[in-house]
């Protein structure tokens, strides 16, 4: 028994115990490792809220931090609606939802197919959601979808011609919420509606395009400046996308708060921005491995180091759960930045600058309108070309059938 062993060591000395000194020397090492792990895991959410009947719309909810957030909310009874690029019949998605339903004992978990890399796909979904009468219940929108090009990687483009990091991390969220705005405003006044953005501390190194800065918003002819392309490096574009997202988040809070409700009640939608900290997610692994096999090999070799100093996905999800459930965020003006389950200050003045917010919104809106028009023309041309090809194939088939009929007749 441990008590007898301790008693023997106490009375006869450590030398009397087999391997006694080894244990004595090892214990401080394990103690230090435990304290380091405890520290780097960060704060733990202790707030609770009745999530039954709450409808939560999520992006990025099938992997990494988003998957843990979805699991935490679903286990508390929330109805989860995933926005995913996967087909609704995709075996991965079907199995994932079934497993989550089983783990959380919650059948109210569904998905909608939305490709965040396509402005057209976002508009189709969001317009359908908004056009529903009566307005569908929506208690929470959690934006966890995120992408990052590995260091040294080349820029990739969305189907609309946007650089992928900028397009998915910022423009997709701007487009989605801009269209969903009426659905958020239409929620009953007694409903606590929360919009939670995921960000990263790298936003401090971002630089917004010059066309979004009020002092340089017009050209010599007085016309609105065209949004120029952002010089591409993986780190700078990622940081800029997060800076723009946070700036838009505060602008969106002002947009919601300025709405004059028909019932004259105060606006009940509040925006929060969450920085989960450095976490072992698929995106982080891709970043650390440079997106290469040799990088993955090195990552596996020093995995104990990453395990010690990086949070698990569950630990990274704690501040999201705190933002979703902490009672104090059910009132107030919104627009808070949260990290380690507490409010912190913004470290870039652009985020809170109303002039920058307004100009960023205008430029983003103009860019989307332009790209959507181009996309509509492209789809129309593709549809027309497909129709011509089908018609040509039909004509060729008809000629072959007529020729065969004539040959049979001649015989």
Calpha distance 83→116 (Å, rounded): 9
What is the reported pLDDT for 387?
Answer: 77
What is the reported pLDDT for 269?
Answer: 94
Q: Which residues pair with 194 in a beta bridge?
A: 140, 270
Calpha distance 8→130 (Å, rounded): 74
Domain ranges of the chain: 55-276+311-368
State both tokens at 182: 């009426």
Burial of residue 157, with CB atoms counted within 10 A of its CB: 0-12 exposed, 13-18 middle, 19 or more buried = exposed
Task: List phi, psi (to 5°) of 82.
Answer: -80, 135
Calpha distance 238→234 (Å, rounded): 6
Q: What is the pTM of this model?
A: 0.86
State both tokens at 142: 């959690």
246's CB contacts (< 8 A; 6+ apart) are 197, 199, 203, 273, 337, 346, 348, 351
Calpha distance 350→356 (Å, rounded): 6
State both tokens at 378: 């492209």
pLDDT by 10s per residue, the chain, length 411: 465 555 555 555 555 556 555 665 677 777 888 888 888 888 999 999 999 999 999 999 999 999 999 999 999 999 999 999 999 999 999 999 999 999 999 999 999 999 999 999 999 999 999 998 888 999 999 999 999 998 888 889 999 999 999 999 999 999 999 999 999 999 999 999 999 999 999 999 999 887 667 754 444 444 444 445 556 788 899 999 999 999 999 999 999 999 988 888 888 999 999 999 999 998 888 889 988 889 899 999 999 999 999 999 999 999 999 999 999 998 888 999 999 999 999 999 999 999 999 999 999 999 999 999 998 998 888 888 877 777 676 665 555 666 655 566 555
What is the reported pLDDT for 17?
Answer: 59
Tell me if residue 128 is catalytic. no
- How far, CA to CA in Å, does 232 sit from each of 118, 165, 166, 239? 21, 10, 10, 11
What is the reported pLDDT for 32?
Answer: 85
What is the reported pLDDT for 114?
Answer: 96
Burial of residue 7, with CB atoms counted within 10 A of its CB: 0-12 exposed, 13-18 middle, 19 or more buried = exposed
* Domain topology for 55-276+311-368: Rossmann fold (3.40.50)
Neighbours of 132 (CB within 10 A): 9
What is the reported pLDDT for 3?
Answer: 57
Burial of residue 72, with CB atoms counted within 10 A of its CB: 0-12 exposed, 13-18 middle, 19 or more buried = buried
Q: Which entry of 242, 377, 388, 391 is annotated as an active-site residue?
A: 242
287's CB contacts (< 8 A; 6+ apart) are 148, 150, 151
State both tokens at 269: 């939608």
State both tokens at 173: 């969220």
């Amino acid at each position: 028994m441990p008590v007898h062993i301790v008693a023997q060591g106490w009375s006869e000395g450590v030398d009397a115990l087999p391997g006694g000194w080894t244990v004595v020397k090892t214990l401080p090492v394990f103690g230090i490792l435990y304290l380091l792990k405890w520290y780097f895991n960060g704060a733990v959410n202790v707030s609770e809220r009745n999530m039954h009947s709450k409808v939560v719309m999520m992006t990025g909810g099938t992997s990494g931090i988003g998957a843990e957030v979805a699991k935490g909310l679903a286990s508390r009874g929330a109805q989860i609606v995933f926005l995913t690029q996967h087909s609704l019949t995709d075996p991965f998605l079907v199995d994932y939802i079934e497993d989550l339903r089983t783990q959380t004992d919650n059948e109210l978990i569904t998905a909608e197919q939305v490709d965040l890399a396509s402005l057209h796909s976002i508009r189709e979904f969001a317009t359908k959601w908004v056009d529903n009468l009566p307005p569908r219940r929506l208690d929470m929108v959690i934006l966890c979808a995120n992408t990052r090009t590995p260091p040294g990687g080349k820029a990739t483009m969305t189907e609309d011609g946007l650089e992928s990091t900028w397009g998915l991390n910022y423009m997709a969220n701007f487009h989605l919420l801009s269209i969903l705005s009426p659905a958020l405003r239409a929620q009953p006044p007694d409903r606590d509606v929360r919009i939670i953005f995921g960000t990263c501390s790298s936003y401090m190194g971002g630089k917004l395009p010059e066309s979004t800065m009020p002092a340089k918003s017009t050209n010599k002819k007085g016309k609105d400046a065209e949004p120029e392309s952002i010089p591409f490096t993986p780190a700078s574009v990622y940081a800029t996308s997060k800076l723009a997202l946070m700036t838009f988040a505060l602008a969106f809070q002002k947009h919601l708060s300025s709405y004059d409700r028909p019932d004259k009640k105060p606006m009940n939608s509040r925006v929060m921005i969450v920085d989960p900290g450095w976490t072992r997610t698929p995106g982080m692994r891709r970043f650390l491995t440079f997106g290469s096999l040799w990088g993955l090999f090195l990552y596996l070799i020093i995995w104990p180091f990453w395990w010690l100093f990086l949070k698990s996905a569950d630990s990274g999800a704690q501040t999201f759960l705190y933002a979703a459930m902490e009672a104090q965020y059910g009132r107030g003006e919104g627009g808070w930045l949260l990290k380690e389950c507490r409010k912190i200050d913004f470290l870039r003045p652009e985020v809170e600058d109303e002039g920058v917010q307004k100009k960023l919104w205008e430029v983003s809106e103009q860019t989307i309108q332009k790209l959507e028009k181009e996309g509509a023309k492209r789809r129309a041309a593709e549809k027309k070309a497909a129709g011509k090809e089908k018609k040509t194939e039909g004509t060729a088939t008809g000629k072959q059938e007529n020729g065969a009929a004539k040959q049979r007749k001649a015989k």
